[in-house]
Amino acid sequence: MPDIVSLFSGCGGLDLGFEQVGYTTVWANDFKHEACETFAHHFGNVIVEGDIEQIDPYTDRSIPDCDIILGGFPCQDFSIIWKRPGLQGERGSLYKSLLRFIDAKHPMAFVAENVKGLLTANKGKAIRQIIEDFQSLNPGYLIKPHLYNFADYGVPQFRERVLIVGIRLDTGFNFVHPQPTHGNGECLLPYYTAGEALEGVENVPLNNEHLRTTERTRHIIGMIPEGGNYTDIPQDSPYYVHGMISHVYRRIKRDEPAKTIIAAGGGGTWGYHYPEPRPLTNRERARLQSFPDDFRFFGSTTEVRRQIGNAVPPVGVHAVATALLPLFLGNYEHVNLYEEQERLSRMTIEERIKMF
């Protein structure tokens, strides 16, 4: 089955989604010690801890050849909840390490993941530059970006992320982004709701510690209805706050997918239970990210929160991983991808993103 080289691996959400479909991760990298501990626990001794910019894929013979490269390159400089410096940000150009590895290993395909804010960073210049850079790689790649909402693919969470899929031109495999499987339309499965995802979670022993919650916080949360957030606190209340992001004191709504689970933030950003007036545990957050209950996260409560919030929901990428399998099995109709690339080059980025 296809071999993966994984960059910016974190705790392994993207890898897990592909491995659950039949892929195997043979080499990985991340710079966070605790994330590497988590990754190694589940995928074996294949992860190298360290700065990706200090690793040379052209000369390092310990990095194996591979069929596909996965990379959820750092998103903070593209995220809509930050200031979005984009390519000018300290971490915005780290995707170039992904370029180096693809250029050195010539995989048949790659998948790059990032936040929705990538599409509008630098007034749209960031995504255009990234696509141009990927296209310019030798021997050439057909680039197909698409904005996914992972709730549409069976994850109990509304989470929008950009997946950039690149297919090597000489393979002749015309990848098509998979259609949604879940939603409110005809012929779709119903959304997997937060209430369904959290059933029985109290019986899971791993990473399920409750946070210490002050009486003040419990009182504030108790003022917020199911599915609400800080804006539901009455303005004449001494607990009223204003000018905050929508994540603050957000409570789950049991009959729909949760809102986006985030990785970090100050007071009020953990995500909150309903009907219990408390923050979600990390295991509950992991359930909403579609991690299995036997997936153990290493590190402090705050560090585990970061790993979960930064991860790609494994179930959310099953459809993409499955759609790519024919490329590696050789059972597909060959097309001229050079002509397809020429056709796509005449389209705007917005038009390409909306294509399946």
DSSP 310-344: HSPPGGGGHHHHHHHHHHHHT-S----HHHHHHHH
Catalytic residue among 11, 36, 66, 75: 75
C-beta of residue 139 within 8 angstroms of C-beta of residue 281: no
Distance of alpha carbon 163 from alpha carbon 253, whole angstroms: 27
Distance of alpha carbon 327 from alpha carbon 173, whole angstroms: 6
Distance of alpha carbon 341 from alpha carbon 132, whole angstroms: 12
- Candidates 216, 242, 220, 222; CA nearest to 231 is 242
Distance of alpha carbon 198 from alpha carbon 252, whole angstroms: 10
- Candidates 344, 19, 299, 37; CA nearest to 174 is 344
Strand partners for 7? 71
Distance of alpha carbon 231 from alpha carbon 349, whole angstroms: 36
Question: 75 catalytic, yes or no?
Answer: yes
C-beta of residue 126 within 8 angstroms of C-beta of residue 95: no
Q: Where are the alpha helices (DSSP H) in 223-336?
A: 282-288, 301-310, 318-329
Helix (H) or strand (E) holding 153: none
Which residue is it, tokens 């509950």? 284
Task: Name the residues annotated as catalytic.
Answer: 75
